[in-house]
Amino acid sequence: MQSTLVDPQDSGHLDAGVLVPYLYLSLEGDRPWAGGLRVCLAGVHAVSVGRGTERKVSRKNSDGKTVLRIDVADNRMSREHLVIERTLGAWALRDAGSSNGTFVDSGRVDKTTVTDGTVVGVGRTVFVFREHKVDNAQAQSDLDFSSLSTLAPGLRTLSPVLSTEFDRVIRFATTEIDILVLGETGTGKELVAKAVHKASRRAGDFVAVNCGALTDTLVESQLFGYQKGAFSGATENRPGLVRSADKGTLFLDEIGDLPLPSQAAFLRVLQERAVTPVGATRPISFDAKLIAATHCPLEEMVERQEFRADLLARVRGFILRLPSLSERLEDLGGIVAGIFGEKGQERTPRISLSAGMALFGHTWPQNIRELGRSLEMSSILAGDGEIAHEHLPEYMRNPKARTSTSPVSAVSTATATDAPAPVSDDGELGRREKLIALLRKHEGNVSAVARDMGKARNQIQRWIKRYELDASTYRY
């Protein structure tokens, strides 16, 4: 048996499958275009954070212990601002007598424990502490967001876990194997699909099909095309969306919304890679890479006979699951940088600490799409000044207003009848039972459980650890 006095993290490199601690400098309010920074804490005994002339990371050995230093060009940060220390695997934060204070969950703290998902605000800079299970040595390294600039926007992540999944999906870009991307609305499924298309080096176009927007009566003519004279109004030959992707990539967004009567015809098209336009007598071959995406639990839909099992088997090649924005807060700063970059703004506004902490504290029910809209509105209200707390949408400034003004309120109301029977929160057992019930309801989605319980996501994660649960076992 290993002695409890020996900390396995002292080795400086942890074995595959072991939780590895990371500290992310996720957002610099003075430089929101800079993206984030990842530092691996394997083998590190203490982290010192303070003001410097530029952003940099250094390590030194002091009395046999490794001390990591993070300098940030943040003039609201003290030269020696805070210290995060490890003792036998546990991490604790203490403010180093800073002028402007250290904030955790929007409250000023002098000392506090640090666990997976803890968000720390200092100056105009926001840090996130995470623990990941990683499988390779490269993941146990530091990484600056600036080094990701050569990657397609949909593949830029500081998370070693998500980075591994992105690397894997790209390996299938040049193969004949279909790809299925799962994730909540607004998590960037189409961006990933475009990145795969680019990596495939196919000469044809990337054709995105919103299956939920296809009309029941015209779905086959929209997808497969039609011949002139096939029906009233068909005055010319049309290739349809599927053939438009010939030599390119066909992206079937929200395939779970494809009308059931059309699924059989579509299955045949995918199997034979040929379509028969409406009014035609012979099939026409096409060659396209297939990527499907959905937020729906397809396996449950199969059980309810709302989705064909054979079609699911056909599109379910390599599966990529995209986490919600609230589950990848370490990337929030990089996503913010990407959003401002896409807008092509001449000047990227600064973000105050209170506004930055609000961004990290929001549950983001509509994910990256909602973040983009919020930043666009906030930057307009800020004008030439910094984005302050007052410029954020009301439901982010005032959590009590979320029940009436937040985009998630309609969703919460719609699903209220499906909620599990109330379980008393009195005592640990009652809370554990309620947590398990909600994990089942939301298929292991920690962010959705947090919204349902009216708690911060970090608190849900702490309870999951305390009750020795594994959210992934509840996912479809």
- For residue 399, give the CATH number of its domain: 2.60.200.20
| Residues 224 and 343 occupy one common structural domain | no
Residue 204 belongs to domain with CATH number: 3.40.50.300
Residue 309 lies in a domain: yes
Choice between 60 and 399, residue whose per-residue pLDDT is larger: 60
| Euclidean distance between CA atoms 417 and 431, whole angstroms | 21
**pLDDT at residue 136, as a whole number:** 72
Per the CB < 8 A criterion, the answer to whether 60 and 69 are in contact is yes
| Residues 276 and 180 occupy one common structural domain | yes
Residue 131 lies in a domain: yes
Mean pLDDT of 158-176: 95
Residue 387 lies in a domain: yes
The residue to which tokens 């994730």 are assigned: 183
Per the CB < 8 A criterion, the answer to whether 157 and 328 are in contact is yes
98-102, 366-370, 388-392, 441-445: least confidently modelled range = 441-445
**pLDDT at residue 128, as a whole number:** 97
Residue 218 lies in a domain: yes
**pLDDT at residue 409, as a whole number:** 35
**pLDDT at residue 8, as a whole number:** 52
Per the CB < 8 A criterion, the answer to whether 457 and 446 are in contact is yes
Last residue of a domain, one of 405, 428, 454: 405
Per the CB < 8 A criterion, the answer to whether 335 and 34 are in contact is no
| Residues 235 and 365 occupy one common structural domain | no
Residue 2 lies in a domain: no
**pLDDT at residue 240, as a whole number:** 82
Per the CB < 8 A criterion, the answer to whether 379 and 345 are in contact is yes
pLDDT digits (tens, 9 = 90+) for 313-362: 999 999 999 999 999 999 999 999 999 886 555 578 999 999 999 999 99
**pLDDT at residue 411, as a whole number:** 34
Residues in a beta bridge with 285: 274
- What is the pLDDT of the chain when averaged over all its residues? 85
* 422 pLDDT more than 80: no
pLDDT digits (tens, 9 = 90+) for 40-68: 999 999 999 999 999 999 999 988 899 99
| Residues 141 and 239 occupy one common structural domain | no
| Residues 141 and 17 occupy one common structural domain | yes
Residues in a beta bridge with 47: 68, 84
φ/ψ of 60, rounded to 5, equals: -145, 155
Last residue of a domain, one of 263, 286, 321: 321
* 219 pLDDT more than 60: yes
| Residues 259 and 187 occupy one common structural domain | yes
Q: Give the DSSP letter string of 33-44.
A: GG--EEEE-TT-
| Euclidean distance between CA atoms 236 and 321, whole angstroms | 41
* 415 pLDDT more than 50: no
| Residues 297 and 436 occupy one common structural domain | no
| Residues 79 and 135 occupy one common structural domain | yes
Is 295 in a helix, a strand, or coil? coil
Residue 410 lies in a domain: no
Q: Identify the CA nearest to 237 among candidates 280, 286, 287.
A: 280
How many structural domains does the chain have? 3
Residue 3 lies in a domain: no
3-state helix, strand, coil in the chain (%, to 5): 40, 20, 40
96-105, 238-247, 297-306, 426-435: least confidently modelled range = 426-435
Last residue of a domain, one of 382, 405, 428: 405
Residue 1 lies in a domain: no
| Residues 263 and 242 occupy one common structural domain | yes
| Residues 213 and 316 occupy one common structural domain | yes
Return the DSSP state at 238: B
φ/ψ of 152, rounded to 5, equals: -65, 145
What share of the chain in percent tops pLDDT 90? 59
Range of the domain at 278: 160-321
| Residues 295 and 172 occupy one common structural domain | yes
Reported confidence tier of residue 442, pLDDT bands at 50, 70, 90: confident
| Residues 117 and 166 occupy one common structural domain | no
pTM to 2 decimals?
0.79
